[in-house]
Structure 1
Amino acid sequence: MNRHERHTTLLELLAERHRLDVDSVAAELGVSVATVRRDLDHLAEQRLLTRTRGGAVAHSVSYELPLRYRAVRHASEKERIARAAAAMARRGMVVGLNGGTTTSEVARALATRADLRGTPDDPALTIVTNALDIAHELAVRPHIKIVTTGGVAMPHSYELVGPLARHILGEVSLDIAFLGVDAVDAESGAGAHNEHEASVNALLAARAERVVVVADSSKLGTRAFARICPVEDIGTLITDAGAPERSARFEERGVSVVQV
C-alpha cells in the first residue's frame, strides 16, 4: 500500500468511525505506528482531520472525502464506465460534464479518443463544465473547446455553483450531458449530497437533449439529500456489473442500462 492509498484508506475509515486509534489502525493496515502518525500529521496539516492524543477525529459527522482522495475508489470500474460514455459522443457535439471522479475519467476518455480530431478553429467537441479540475485538464487539448461556468468553487468537488453558474448554463444548449452523481435510485432519480451542486447539475440535465448518468454500482439503489433529476429524465445509465439486480430496476422504469 503506497502513501496515497494509505491516506485514502485512513480518510475512509475516519468517515465510517469518526475516530481512529493509531495502534489499532497500524495493526489493521499492516504498517508501523510511526507511519500512521506521519500520515495523520500530514492529513491534519491539510485540515482533513483533527489530531488527538493517540489518534485522530473527523471534523464533523458529515465528513466527506475531497475529490483527490475519492479518485482511487472503484478506479477500474470508473475507467470502464468512462470509456463506454466517451464512445457515445460524436464529432461536433456539445457535451456537458459536472464534477466528480467518474466524470473526470469521462473527460480524459473523450480527450484521448483517436478518432476525434480537430483544431482550435474547428474543435471536435465543445465541452461545457462547471468543474474546475476538468476545465484545467482539458484546456490544453487543442481539439476541444472548453466552456466553463462562473460561480463559487466547492472545495470537495471543485464544482462551481451559485447564480453565476446557473446564468451561464441557462444560455447554452447541450447535445448530451454526462452526470456524475452521489446516488441514483429507480424511484427517486439522481441525487447529490450538496444542494448547491444538485441545483447546478439539475440545470445541466435540463439543458441537455440526452442525459447519461455515469455511476459505479455502489451508488445504485441509494438516495442523497438533494435531487438532481427524476428517473424519467435519465436516458441512459452506465454502470459496472456489480449489482445486476439494481440495474434491472432502472430498465423497468424505461432507462437504458449499459453495464461494463
Structure 2
Amino acid sequence: MLIDTHCHLALPDFDGDRHDVIMRSHKAGVLKMIAIAIKVKDFVPLITLCQDYPSSVFCSIGTHPCHAHEELEVLVDELVCLASHPRVVAIGETGLDRYHNAHTIEDQKTVFLRHIEAARITGIPLVIHSRSADEDMVALLQEQIKKGPFSFVIHCFSSSQKLADICLELGGYISFSGMITFPKYDDLRVVAQSIPMDRLLVETDSPYIVPVPCSGRRNEPSYVVNTAKVLAREKGISYEELMEKTTENAFRLFSKMSKCVF
C-alpha cells in the first residue's frame, strides 16, 4: 500500500471525475490520500470529500502562504477548533513562498506562526510549503522549535541539502513529489539518497507536478507510484520496501489516520 500524503482532491480540476480518480488510485495500490487545504474558508468541501470516502480520504486545515494575506483574520483558536474534527490529520499547508508572493512575506510569517502554535496545541503535524525561502524557513523553524515542540513535514521538497539536514535535526520529515522523476533534478535525487528511511514520505501534490512518464496529463494520486519507484531506485531498495517504509512513516506522522474508525 502507498499513501499519497499531499494532494488537492477538492480542487475543481477533479470535479468531472473525482470518483474515478479515487478508484484508479485504489487500483494502483494507493489506498489512502490526504487532501490538503489551501484556504481555511474551503473547509466544508474538504470534510464532505472525506465523509464521502471514509476509508480513503483524510484532510488538513490551513492557509497556503500564497493566500496568507487573504486569511489574516484566521486566528489560532479557529485552527485548533477545526483541527479537532476526526478527519483532520494535519495543519497546513502553511509556510513561506518568496517565488510567487515575496511582497506578502510578512503576512506569510504571521500566518505561519499561528499555524505553528496550533500544531503545538493540538499535537497535529504541520504540512510546510517552502519555496525560494530557505533562509527564512531555517531561521523560523530553529527559533520556534525552542519555544515548544511540534512535528512537521516539508512537502514537495525541492530545496538544498542544508535545509533537509536542518529539518531532520529538528525532527522533521521530508516528502518528495514527482519532481524527483524529472531528468534535470539530479541534485534533488542526491538529497533524497541522504534522507533516513524513517523520515521519508511520498506525495503527488496533484493536480500539479506530473511525474515522468505521465507528463502532459493532469496529475492524480495514482501517479505517486512513479515517484515511489524512482525513490526506491535512488535508495537502493525494492519498491515493496519503499511502500512499506513510507506507509509506516505516514501513519506515524499523521497518527489520527490510524485512529479513525470506519
The TM-score normalised by the length of structure 1 is 0.36
* Structure having the larger proportion of residues in strand: 1
Q: Which has the larger radius of gyration?
A: 1
The TM-score normalised by the length of structure 2 is 0.36
Tell which has more relative contact order, 1 or 2 (C-alpha 8 A, sep 6+).
2
